[in-house]
């Protein structure tokens, strides 16, 4: 839940003890429900047969899930916002997206907009960030040579008793390439995020009516052999030039979307994931776990299906390889 905790802190600040965990648990349940309710197949069905939208919800197999998801959505929409509002009133609120909003002149209409904005930031960022970090760990287990090269780059740039920080980033291009490849290898949203056309349009001779659901096939982009030879293999070097420079900035990655609807939180994802990956590689060796008989537990890149994919649960082993950096990391975690 680390990714979710960071996003909660940015969006809502420091919540009361126990409440953050409760909100995170509800959010994970809601995300799983949405995975079952909103699928690419159903989106295509409603686009092809728009009259289905006029049918009552009980006509569909997901009727009970829809009701439960609405309850959870209302809870997550209102409760964290109201808690921060109370903190602002009694002077105990910490800096966050919501406190910045509440400190400015606003009316009820603004509040009705801000609540779903915060909710969307929280829900969208939590699941995708967690998925990207899980894919990173999976890749490090399956491709130890990549892990060794990344750690060698960190050790060459950063003192042995210091943690890598964002000031070191310009000197660590291979780490950036790893994160770009994580997003390419298994994009979190293989068909992108569904959007709808605001007006009637014509593209390449095809008429596209207003309200048509449009999805970008990110999976096809990620498997384009003309750009990514041997696309099923995890290969960060495909994102580097011959002189070891990043070909394209991380925030321009196709996994963030395109145009006006590009992910507004991509800078947050960039910095938080870079910091997490750099810290993990600087301190820990990630390897295959072993069973009770000492045999290596094999791992395969198996993923769930749906609008958002994530790695199936897998076993791995973390081993500290730098006690000095481990001490710095523990001190930072304890200070928070």
Q: Which residues are annotated as a binding site for heme?
A: 263
CA dist 17 → 14, 50, 123, 276 (Å): 9, 46, 20, 24
Query: Residues at the annotated binding site?
Result: 263
> CA 280, CA 311: separation in Å to the nearest integer?
19
> CA 280, CA 294: separation in Å to the nearest integer?
25
With beta carbons less than 8 A apart as the criterion, state whether 215 and 40 touch.
yes
Q: Where are the alpha helices (DSSP H) in 91-172?
A: 97-102, 108-142, 144-157
> CA 172, CA 10: separation in Å to the nearest integer?
26
Cα–Cα–Cα angle for 212, 255, 44, nearest 5°? 25
With beta carbons less than 8 A apart as the criterion, state whether 231 and 224 touch.
yes
Task: Output the six-digit token pair for 293.
Answer: 């008989």
């Amino acid at each position: 839940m680390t990714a979710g905790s960071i996003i909660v802190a940015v969006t809502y600040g420091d919540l009361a003890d126990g409440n953050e965990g409760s909100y995170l648990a509800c959010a994970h349940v809601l995300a799983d429900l949405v995975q079952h309710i909103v699928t690419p197949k159903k989106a295509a069905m409603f686009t092809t047969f728009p009259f289905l939208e006029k049918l009552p919800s009980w006509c569909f197999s997901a009727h009970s899930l829809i009701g439960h998801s609405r309850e959870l959505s209302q809870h997550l929409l209102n409760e964290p916002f109201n808690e921060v509002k109370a903190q602002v009133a009694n002077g105990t609120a910490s800096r966050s997206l919501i406190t910045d909003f509440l400190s400015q002149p606003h009316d009820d209409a603004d509040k009705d907009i801000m609540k779903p904005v915060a909710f969307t930031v929280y829900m969208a960022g939590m699941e995708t960030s967690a998925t990207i970090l899980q894919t990173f760990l999976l890749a490090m287990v399956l491709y130890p040579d990549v892990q060794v090269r990344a750690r060698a780059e960190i050790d060459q740039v950063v003192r042995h008793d210091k943690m890598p920080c964002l000031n070191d980033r310009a000197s660590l291009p291979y780490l950036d390439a790893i994160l770009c490849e994580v997003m390419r290898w298994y994009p979190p949203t293989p068909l992108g995020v569904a959007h709808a056309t605001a007006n009637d349009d014509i593209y390449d001779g095809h008429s596209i009516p207003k309200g048509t659901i449009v999805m970008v096939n990110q999976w096809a982009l990620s498997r384009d052999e003309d750009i990514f030879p041997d696309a099923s293999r995890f290969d960060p070097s495909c994102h580097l030039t011959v002189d070891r420079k990043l070909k394209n900035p991380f925030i321009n990655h196709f996994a963030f979307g395109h145009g006006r609807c590009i992910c507004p939180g991509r800078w947050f994802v960039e910095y938080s994931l870079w910091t997490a990956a750099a810290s993990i590689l600087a301190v820990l060796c990630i390897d295959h776990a072993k069973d009770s008989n000492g045999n290596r537990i094999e791992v395969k890149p198996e993923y769930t299906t749906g609008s958002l994919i994530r790695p199936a649960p897998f076993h791995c082993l973390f081993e500290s390889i730098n006690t000095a950096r481990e001490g710095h990391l523990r001190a930072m975690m304890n200070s928070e």
